[in-house]
Amino acid sequence: MSAHGAGVGVRTVTLGGLPLLVAAVPVGEAGDRLMTTVGERGLVRLPAVTGVDLPRGARVGFTVDQRELRLVDEQDTTLLRAPRGGLDAGWLEAARRLRGTMTVLGRDVELSADLDVATIVARLDAAAVGGHVCGAIVGLVEERPTLPLFL
């Protein structure tokens, strides 16, 4: 996933049938801008991830189309993007069904495809203690292709 040109690691998983998107935001100017931007738009600093109810009402949302997933703000400015092919099928189905996903961004948190969910959550909990994690429940809309109308 990219954020203003910076590489952001992303994992999409389901926990008890609920969708969770985790983004690892790198340290640096682009990461600082991203964290500030999502904070201004309603993702709140979290004291932990485990046992915390994520707030609703963030002024960002995900749009998924045939090619990619994008996190956009109220002005439809793309803040993050990821190829659709990298999304977990169970996550996408749960996010469609609920029209949203739990979303957590962590600064300087290492994510890799081989990490289990418990390890990811433990890393996020540790980062949250230092004030480096924010999150919210964020809406998701799927754009479906339409056929041209011929009259």
pLDDT digits (tens, 9 = 90+) for 5-50: 457 889 999 988 999 999 999 989 989 999 999 999 999 999 999 9
Question: Is position 69 within any domain?
Answer: yes
Distance of alpha carbon 61 from alpha carbon 78, whole angstroms: 10
Question: Is position 120 within any domain?
Answer: yes
Distance of alpha carbon 66 from alpha carbon 69, whole angstroms: 9
Question: Is position 127 within any domain?
Answer: yes
* pTM of the model as a whole: 0.88
- Give the angle subtended at the CA of 89 by the CAs of 97 and 54, to the nearest 5°: 55
Number of folded domains that form the chain: 1
Q: Residues 95-144: pLDDT tens digits?
A: 999 999 999 999 988 888 888 999 999 999 999 999 999 999 999 999 87
Question: Is position 150 within any domain?
Answer: no
Burial grade of 131 (CB within 10 A; 0-12, 13-18, 19 or more): exposed
* Structural domain that includes position 50: 2-142
Q: How far is CA 40 from the centre of its chain?
A: 16
DSSP states of 7-30 as a string?
E-EEEEEEETTEEEEEEEEPSSHH
Q: Where residue 147 falls among pLDDT bands split at 50, 70, 90?
A: low
pLDDT at 4 over 80: no
pLDDT computed for residue 91 by the predictor: 96
Question: Is position 118 within any domain?
Answer: yes
Q: Where residue 59 falls among pLDDT bands split at 50, 70, 90?
A: very high
Assess contact for 64 and 142: CB atoms under 8 A. yes
Question: Is position 151 within any domain?
Answer: no
Question: Is position 149 within any domain?
Answer: no
Question: Is position 148 within any domain?
Answer: no
